[in-house]
Amino acid sequence: MSSNNSPNHTTEPNRIAVVGGGIAGLVAAYELQTAGAIVDVYEASHRWGGKIQTTPVGDRMVDAGPDTFLARAAEGVELCRKLDLADELVAPVAAVPAYIHRDSKLLPLPSGTILGIPTDFDAVAASGLVSSEGLARARQDLVLPETTYTDDCSLGWYCRQRLGDEVTMRLVDPLLGGINASNIDNLSLESAFPALATIAKTTKSLVEGLRAHQKSVGATLGSTKPTTAGKPSTAPPVFYSLPGGVARIIDRLVERLEHPANPNFTPVRLHLDSPISDLRQLDTQQIVLACPAPVSSRLLKSINQEASQQLATIDYTSVSQVTFEFNRSATDPVLDASGILFPRVDGLVATAATWLSTKWDHYNTADKVLIRVSSGRADDLRSATMTDDELIAQLLEDLGTVININQPATAVRVQRWVGAFPAYTPGHTDRIQHAKSALQDSHPTIRLAGAAYDGIGIPACIRSGQRSAQELLQAGPG
Ligand SMILES: Cc1cc2nc3c(=O)[nH]c(=O)nc-3n(C[C@H](O)[C@H](O)[C@H](O)COP(=O)(O)OP(=O)(O)OC[C@H]3O[C@@H](n4cnc5c(N)ncnc54)[C@H](O)[C@@H]3O)c2cc1C
């Protein structure tokens, strides 16, 4: 098997099966195809893309899963370049503010906040988000002795040590916990936020460490800056999206897999409605498992107990999202914001509301507002038990605590994501390493890929798919 991007005509090409047709599996198939392999992809459901999906709301196609991906992680942009989509990538509208809910009020996310961690205490004071006692406690971060831990700890524990409970629950949890609907007290600092773990290990003060990091890398950690709403920004974008929906990446990938641009590559055989329940269904020993970890755990059970057990420990959080389209005249105020975060401590069912029509130019129209309200997080399963009608009513009520909505929505979409996000609990990296090396020892031609392992974001899943394919090619047919 040649791995230099040109098919090898002198020997029998590798036959490889990919289980799971989300971004990780499709990217693995793409990588394998371009190395000359003969590939089959098996997807349990009736469509490609897994968590990436774009469906109609009213007469527009709107992202139902991710609406964006990190620009600074090269893999997303690079894949779009290979798929001839890079010229269409768009950045969010610059400098629209974000808000946090407190006591039925909308308070601005303080400027200088990086991933929910304040670096400008005066801005936190001015925002009114935190009591004076909470702020005084957070300032102690600058003078407290170093916080040490062995191996790994929870993000919540570390932030409580440095900043106290109030800032942790009012600022850090809504942002960092919100990213993957987790409970920050059970979220691994080392595997979910390696950049913060590095700061924790190298500087005494978290805030000073972040300030220094910010100076060296610019805005890439996702900071809020005091800028003028609506003005074009000169800073490189932190996020990208695609007009028409992120699922266009999936559509283009599937197109290329079926009809490779290079006529020397073999079209990938794509099988929808094809759940794999036993590895013996696949007519090859060379396999990429790009399905959720509990599925991989079941598939590996009969061949590698150790790997199977490690993967079985990965829990998933389910979320539900309702996307509302309103007439512009229906909401008061017409919020000039990218969104609102609803902290867990306030007890609402809504976790966040994204003003898609403000955040993205391609969703901005003169007459309509598009708002996506999210619900569901670790240890809060209320939304999962509601009917669609109950959920819609509940999220409208939660939104109504801060926005006056005086007309019914012109379109509504309810999206349930069962098993949306793998939980990276403390010790995650070690458990994954353990599972992978156990599997490699017994079955070097079976590889794991996807959101459960080395990052949940789209670029991380692309990287994971690519890496699994490369490792498989290196391992050879076995
Ligand atoms: C609501 C939501 C919002 C998000 N927002 C963002 C964001 O803004 N930015 C970002 O970067 N990331 C975001 N993410 C995360 C990101 O979208 C996912 O982590 C990523 O798409 C997961 O890709 P994957 O290929 O690993 O898994 P999946 O997309 O879960 O794909 C796995 C596939 O395996 C299939 N499968 C399952 N069992 C079997 C079986 N037995 N046989 C065959 N196939 C099987 C499934 O049907 C599925 O299609 C979001 C996720 C969600 C849910």
Same domain, 338 and 236: yes
Question: What is the per-residue pLDDT for 424?
Answer: 97
Q: Does the pLDDT value for residue 3 go beyond 60?
A: no
Question: What is the per-residue pLDDT for 475?
Answer: 87
Point out the ligand 1 atom lying closest to the alpha carbon of residue 415: 1
Say which CATH number the domain at 232 has: 3.90.660.20
Residue at 86 is within a domain: no
Separation of CA 401 and ligand 1 centre (Å): 32
pLDDT-based confidence at residue 217 (cuts at 50, 70, 90): low
Separation of CA 471 and ligand 1 centre (Å): 21
Separation of CA 204 and ligand 1 centre (Å): 37
Residues with Cβ within 8 Å of 256's Cβ and at least 6 positions away in sequence, in order, are 30, 83
Same domain, 326 and 418: yes
Same domain, 210 and 266: no
Residue at 70 is within a domain: no
Q: Does the pLDDT value for residue 249 go beyond 80?
A: yes
Can you list the positions of beta strands (E) in 241-380?
A: 269-271, 287-289, 316-327, 331-332, 339-341, 350-355, 368-375
Question: What is the per-residue pLDDT for 130?
Answer: 96
Ligand 1, atom 15, residue with closest C-alpha = 457
| Rounded Cα gap, residues 159 and 162, in angstroms | 5
Query: CB of 279 within 8 A of CB of 109?
Result: no
Residue at 372 is within a domain: yes
Q: Does the pLDDT value for residue 1 go beyond 60?
A: no
Pairing state between β 15-19 and 69-70: unpaired
Residue 362 tokens read as 């391609």
153 alpha carbon, distance to own chain's centre: 21
* 292 touches ligand 1 (CB under 6 Å): yes
Pairing state between β 60-63 and 54-57: antiparallel
pLDDT-based confidence at residue 12 (cuts at 50, 70, 90): low
Q: Does the pLDDT value for residue 96 go beyond 90?
A: no
Same domain, 339 and 367: yes
Separation of CA 290 and ligand 1 centre (Å): 9
Angstrom CA distances, 39 to 250, 270, 285, 293, 475, stand at 17, 9, 12, 22, 16
Residue at 27 is within a domain: yes
Separation of CA 43 and ligand 1 centre (Å): 12
The percentage of the chain sitting over the pLDDT mark of 70, rounded to a whole number, equals: 93
Average pLDDT over residues 190-206: 93
Residue at 196 is within a domain: yes
Question: What is the per-residue pLDDT for 218?
Answer: 55
Ligand 1, atom 27, residue with closest C-alpha = 22
Residues with Cβ within 8 Å of 473's Cβ and at least 6 positions away in sequence, in order, are 1, 3, 14, 32, 35, 37
* 92 touches ligand 1 (CB under 6 Å): no
Q: Does the pLDDT value for residue 476 go beyond 90?
A: no
* 273 touches ligand 1 (CB under 6 Å): no
Separation of CA 312 and ligand 1 centre (Å): 17
Radius of gyration of the chain (CA): 23
Same domain, 291 and 347: no
Same domain, 40 and 148: no
Query: CB of 36 within 8 A of CB of 6?
Result: yes
Same domain, 216 and 298: no
Same domain, 365 and 261: no
Say which CATH number the domain at 255 has: 3.50.50.60
pLDDT-based confidence at residue 14 (cuts at 50, 70, 90): confident
Q: Does the pLDDT value for residue 298 go beyond 90?
A: yes
Question: What is the per-residue pLDDT for 221?
Answer: 46
Residue at 57 is within a domain: no
Same domain, 147 and 250: no
Return the higher-pLDDT residue of 72 and 426.
Answer: 426
- Residue 216's domain spans which residues? 112-221
Range with the poorest average pLDDT among 29-33, 333-337, 418-422, 472-476:
333-337
Ligand 1, atom 48, residue with closest C-alpha = 50
Q: Which of 361, 283, 306, 386 is nearest to 373 (CA)?
A: 386
Provide the domain count of the chain.
Answer: 3
Residue 299 tokens read as 């598939």
Residue at 389 is within a domain: yes
pLDDT-based confidence at residue 334 (cuts at 50, 70, 90): low
Range with the poorest average pLDDT among 6-15, 80-89, 210-219, 391-400:
6-15
Question: What is the per-residue pLDDT for 219?
Answer: 46
Separation of CA 453 and ligand 1 centre (Å): 12
Average pLDDT over residues 158-163: 97
Question: What is the per-residue pLDDT for 157?
Answer: 97
Residue at 451 is within a domain: yes
DSSP 169: I
Residue 242 tokens read as 């695609």
At 19-70, the pLDDT tens digits run 999 999 999 999 999 999 999 999 999 999 999 999 999 999 999 999 999 9
DSSP string, 203-270: -S-HHHHHHHHHHHHGGGGTB-----TTPPP-SPPSEEB-TT-THHHHHHHHHHHHS-SSTTSPPPEE
* 108 touches ligand 1 (CB under 6 Å): no
Point out the ligand 1 atom lying closest to the alpha carbon of residue 47: 49
CB crowding 17-33: b at 16 or more within 10 Å, else e: bbbbbbbbbbbbbbbbb
Same domain, 209 and 342: no
Q: Which of 67, 69, 180, 291 is the pocket-test mutation for ligand 1 (most atoms within 8 Å of CB)? A: 291
* 19 touches ligand 1 (CB under 6 Å): yes
Same domain, 167 and 307: no
Separation of CA 48 and ligand 1 centre (Å): 10
Average pLDDT value over all residues in the chain: 91
Separation of CA 53 and ligand 1 centre (Å): 9
187, 221, 255 - which closes a domain: 221
DSSP string, 370-395: EEEEEE-BTTB-HHHHS-HHHHHHHH
Q: Could you give the dihedral angle defined by the CA atoms of residues 189, 238, 130 and 120, in that order, rounded to the nearest 10 degrees?
A: 100
405, 422, 439 - which closes a domain: 422
Same domain, 26 and 171: no
Point out the ligand 1 atom lying closest to the alpha carbon of residue 23: 25
* 401 touches ligand 1 (CB under 6 Å): no
Say which CATH number the domain at 182 has: 1.10.3110.10
Question: What is the per-residue pLDDT for 15?
Answer: 92
Ligand 1, atom 1, residue with closest C-alpha = 65
